[in-house]
Amino acid sequence: MNNLISWSDFEKVDVRVGTIIQVEDFEKARKPAWILHVDLGTDLGIKKSSAQIKHHYAKSDLLNTQVICVVNFPPKQIANIKSEILVTGFPDEDGNIILARPDKAVPNGAKLF
């Protein structure tokens, strides 16, 4: 493995869990995507993210689901929204994203260690 990082490098990435509380159509996105509103707890509040996950997830699949997010990237303008967090996932064999999620409920805003 060539790209080893130090513990202090890892600590710079703020990864938190949040609950999807609203899902909107994102018609202006170039690739099929949802706009997710994620509740990251009282300290971070509700943040928006564009997520290209329509291949595997309908709106109803996503509501009240917890997801793992990077919360300390700068906001990124995507079409007409400002994506404030990165909702994480892994590509399937065709490159479509499968969400990274905790297997048990944890408090919104909990930090990954």
**Domains along the chain?**
9-99 (2.40.50.140)
Work out the percent of the chain whose per-residue pLDDT is above 70.
99
Residue 35: Cβ within 10 Å count: 21
What's the pLDDT at 29?
87
Check the CA dihedral 77-83-86-88 and report its sign: negative
Q: How far is CA 108 from the centre of its chain?
A: 13
Tokens 């994203």 — which residue?
97
Give tens-digit pLDDT for 78-93: 999 999 999 999 999 9
| pLDDT 10s digits, 103-112 | 999 999 999 9
CA atoms of 42 and 28, how far apart (whole Å): 30
Phi and psi at residue 5, in whole multiples of 5°? -120, 160
